[in-house]
Structure 1
Amino acid sequence: MKLGKKILLMIAAIVVTTVVALGVYITSAYNFSTSELSKTFKDYKTSGSSSNAIKQTKPFSILLMGVDTGDSERHSTWEGNSDSMILVTVNPKTKTTTMTSLERDILIELTGPEDNNMNGAQAKLNAAYASGGAQMAIMTIQDLLDIKIDYYMQINMQGLVDLVDAVGGITVTNNFDFPISIEETEPEYTSSIEPGTHKINGDQALVYARMRHQDPKGDYGRQQRQREVIQKVLKKILALDSVSSYKKILSAVSKNMQTNVEISSRTIPSLLGYADSLKNIETYQLEGEGQTINEISYEIVSSDHLLEVQNRIKKQLGLEESTELKTTAVLSENLYGTSSYYSSDYSSDYSSYDSGYSTGYDTGYSDYSNSGYSDYSTDTYSQDASAYAY
Structure 2
Amino acid sequence: MGHSGGDSNGTGTGGGGRMAVRGGRSRGIRAAGLALVGALLLGAAAAGWAYWQLNGNIKSVDIDAALGDDRPARPVTVPAASPSASPVPAGALNILVLGSDSRGGEENRELGGGDSEGARSDTAMVVHLDAGRTTATVVSIPRDTLVDRPSCPLPSGGSTRAASNAMFNTAYALGGPVCAVKTVEALTGVRMDHYVEIDFSGFADLVDALGGVTVTTDVDIDDDKSHLHLDAGTHHLDGTEALGLARTRYGLAGGSDLARIELQQKLVKALLEQISATDLLTDPARLYQVADAATGSLTTDTGLDSLGELTGLARSLGGLSADDVRTVTMPVVPAPWDTNRVVPHQLDAADLWESLR
For the superposition of Structure 1 and Structure 2, which TM-score range results when normalised by the shorter chain?
0.5 to 0.7
Quick one: percent identity of the two aligned structures?
20
Q: RMSD of the alignment, in Å?
A: 3.8
Q: Considering only CA atoms, is the larger Rg found in Structure 1 or Structure 2?
A: 2
Q: Which residue of 1 aligns with 2:202?
A: 159
State how far apart, in whole Å, the 2-side matches of 1:124 and 1:215 are.
21
- Which structure has more helix as a fraction of its residues? 2
State how far apart, in whole Å, the 1-side matches of 2:329 and 2:95 are.
15
- The counterpart of 1:284, out of the listed 304, 310, 328, is 328
CA contact (8 A) 1:57 1:271 kept: no
Shift of 1:30: 6.9
Higher relative contact order (CA 8 A, sep 6+): 1
State how far apart, in whole Å, the 2-side matches of 1:91 and 1:197 are.
32
State how far apart, in whole Å, the 2-side matches of 1:198 and 1:56 are.
36
State the Cα deviation string for residues 268-323 of structure 1 (Å, max 9, x = none): 34541222245511222223221253x68442334322320221111xxxxxxxxx
CA contact (8 A) 2:196 2:300 kept: yes
- The counterpart of 2:286, out of the listed 220, 233, 245, is 245
Letter in 1 for 2:99: G
**Structure 1: tracts of 5 or more residues without a match:** 1-27, 315-390
State how far apart, in whole Å, the 2-side matches of 1:255 and 1:266 are.
16
User: TM-score, structure 2 length as denominator?
Assistant: 0.64
Question: Deviating runs (4+, > 6 A) in structure 1?
Answer: 173-176, 194-197
The answer to whether 1:39 aligns with 2:57 is: yes
Shift of 1:255: 3.0
State how far apart, in whole Å, the 2-side matches of 1:216 and 1:204 are.
19
| Larger mean Cα displacement after TM superposition, 62-71 or 29-38 | 29-38
Q: Taking structure 1 as reference, are residues 151 and 296 closer, same or farther at Cα in structure 2, changes over 3 Å only?
A: same
Q: What is the correspondence of 1:93-108 to structure 2 with a 5 Å cutoff?
A: 93=132, 95-104=134-143, 105-108=145-148
- Say how many residue pairs are matched: 277
Letter in 2 for 1:64: V
Q: Which residue of 2 aligns with 1:233?
A: 271
- The counterpart of 2:351, out of the listed 308, 326, 334, is 308
Letter in 2 for 1:43: V
Q: Taking structure 1 as reference, are residues 289 and 30 closer, same or farther at Cα in structure 2, changes over 3 Å only?
A: farther
Shift of 1:133: 0.8
CA contact (8 A) 1:290 1:298 kept: yes
CA contact (8 A) 2:101 2:200 kept: yes
**Structure 2: tracts of 5 or more residues without a match:** 1-45, 78-86, 104-113
State how far apart, in whole Å, the 2-side matches of 1:124 and 1:95 are.
34
State the Cα deviation string for residues 90-126 of structure 1 (Å, max 9, x = none): 1242611111112322321424128214146652222
Q: What is the correspondence of 1:154-303 to structure 2 with a 5 Å cutoff?
A: 154-171=197-214, 181-183=222-224, 186=225, 189=227, 192-193=229-230, 199-208=236-245, 225-238=263-276, 239-240=278-279, 241-260=282-301, 261-265=304-308, 268-269=311-312, 271-277=314-320, 279=322, 280-293=324-337, 297-303=340-346
State how far apart, in whole Å, the 2-side matches of 1:223 and 1:246 are.
29
**2:319 aligned counterpart, secondary structure:** helix
CA contact (8 A) 2:333 2:343 kept: yes
Q: Taking structure 1 as reference, are residues 38 and 309 closer, same or farther at Cα in structure 2, changes over 3 Å only?
A: farther
- Which structure has more strand as a fraction of its residues? 2
Q: Which residue of 1 aligns with 2:26?
A: none
